[in-house]
Amino acid sequence: MMNSKKRKIIFSVGGGKGGVGKSIFSVSLGTALAKDGYRTVLADLDLGAANLHTYLGIVSETPTIADFILKKTASLEELLMETSVRGLNLISGAEFVPGMANPAHWMKLKIMRHVKSLPADYVILDLGAGVHFNTLDFFGVSDRGIVITAPEPGAVMNAYGFIKAALFRKLQNIFRRHSAIGPIIDAETQKKEAEKILTLDWLTEKIRGTAPDMLPLMDEVRQSFTPVLVVNRIPAEQKNVLVKNLIDLCSNKLGVHLHHLGNLPEAQTISNYLLDIPAFLESEAGSLYCETVEKIKNRLVNQYKIDRRNREVKSDFTDGEISEIIALMEGLDNSIFRDSTRDTWKLRMYFKPAAVVQYLIGRGVSHDAFYESSS
Ligand SMILES: Nc1ncnc2c1ncn2[C@@H]1O[C@H](COP(=O)(O)OP(=O)(O)O)[C@@H](O)[C@H]1O
Ligand SMILES: [Mg+2]
């Protein structure tokens, strides 16, 4: 539909505080994408407090992600359930099962592997509240993390805490096996909040001093950690100082550019439709709420169209570029490499670089050396 490679895009919806509207927004975005003809999957990853099925009016007993985690089902795809919206499928979350809220790391990787191979154009991961590792990890591996906040001080600070925790967690996950950089990050993470530095610029300087070969990877982290912000339940034309503060805080304290995607208005009638949000969207078609969802959906879709159109993957690589990409591969997480080992993939770089680069892009890795320069 979008691209010959048909890579699916994974959005995650997080934000720290419970009740700010993550799940309602996930259903609204999923419905808007499906109505555009995109095959869309909503995955309820609020492990332990799932409610997407309720918002979608699914009352019958259905298989849930618990069945996958408890190995009663071999694949996530088997859990896909149709909803009242054509093209929108649901992977239902689990009612509380002991131990479920904190799956082991390998299980999270397995869930993500299965998410990446779902038959869909877009997958939306609806995450739980708080900054549990599982929430941060799912947020960190998605293509676009969407942070939802209400315009109140408490919720905004929670959103900041969430973005910061997600960045730290991502850096930790990437560099944990690096003998020089891993300990630098760990030491900083353990400091008191007020003394913590860990901006991307600061870490880049540290890496320049200790392990300059890792700079391309750091660049990649910088390019890939680009959360976007949606403010929910805000009076339409109200200028929100808190939001500006949040964006400034992310930029100054973390070195993260937080892009503000839109403000969803308070929708009074939602409460009449909590057992059928698609019916709410239908009945409110043309309302400010629906128009805003539409605008946000278009922005998200266009970001990827633009990325894809402007960036043409090279077919020939110079020796310098090959070494650069191999250095990048050395720093990637083990989970990137399937089918054969990292070393095999590195060697393959010498005789089939374009195939390796296509593989890496398919696994969500991006680097300037992959693409023709646009100038
Ligand atoms: N834009 C909105 N306007 C009015 N009420 C909303 C809006 N978004 C969410 N809500 C209300 O907030 C409640 C919590 O939303 P939910 O999406 O379940 O939060 P979360 O997933 O972040 O915990 C919903 O049941 C709904 O009543
Ligand atoms: Mg929720």
pLDDT, tens digit (0-9, with 9 covering 90-100), for 177-212: 899 999 999 898 888 877 878 788 899 999 999 999
pTM: 0.80
Give yes or no for residue 2 having a pLDDT over 90: no
Rounded to an integer, what is the distance from CA 256 to the centroid of its chain? Answer: 15
Domain range spanning residue 154? Answer: 9-310
Supply the residue whose CA is at minimum distance from atom 23 of ligand 1: 19
Integer CA distances (angstroms), 278 to 21, 24, 32, 87, 183, in order: 15, 10, 10, 13, 48
Q: Which atom of ligand 1 is nearest to the CA of 232?
A: 1
352 and 242 assigned to the same domain: no
How many domains are there within the chain?
A: 2
The structure tokens listed for 200 are 């991307």
Ligand 1 pocket mutation pick from 17, 270, 292 by most atoms within 8 angstroms of CB: 270
Contact 349, 325 (CB under 8 A): yes
SS3 state at 265: coil
**What is the spatial distance between Cα 91 and Cα 341, in angstroms, rounded to a whole number?**
31
Q: Residue 94 belongs to a domain with what CATH number? A: 3.40.50.300
Contact 145, 227 (CB under 8 A): yes
Q: What is the pLDDT of residues 115-162, one digit of tens each?
A: 999 999 999 999 988 888 889 999 998 999 999 999 999 999 999 999
The alpha carbon of 160 and the centre of ligand 2 are apart by a number of angstroms equal to 18
Q: Which atom of ligand 1 is nearest to the CA of 265?
A: 1
Q: Could you say which DSSP state residue 177 is in?
A: T
**What is the spatial distance between Cα 208 and Cα 184, in angstroms, rounded to a whole number?**
13
Which of 310, 328, 344 is a domain's end point?
A: 310
Q: What is the pLDDT of residues 92-102, one digit of tens each?
A: 997 767 767 67
162 and 281 assigned to the same domain: yes
Q: Which atom of ligand 1 is nearest to the CA of 289?
A: 1
Q: Which atom of ligand 1 is nearest to the CA of 126?
A: 21
**What is the spatial distance between Cα 236 and Cα 239, in angstroms, rounded to a whole number?**
9
Ligand 1 is surrounded, with C-beta below 6 A, by 18-24, 129, 232-233, 264, 266-267, 270-271, 274
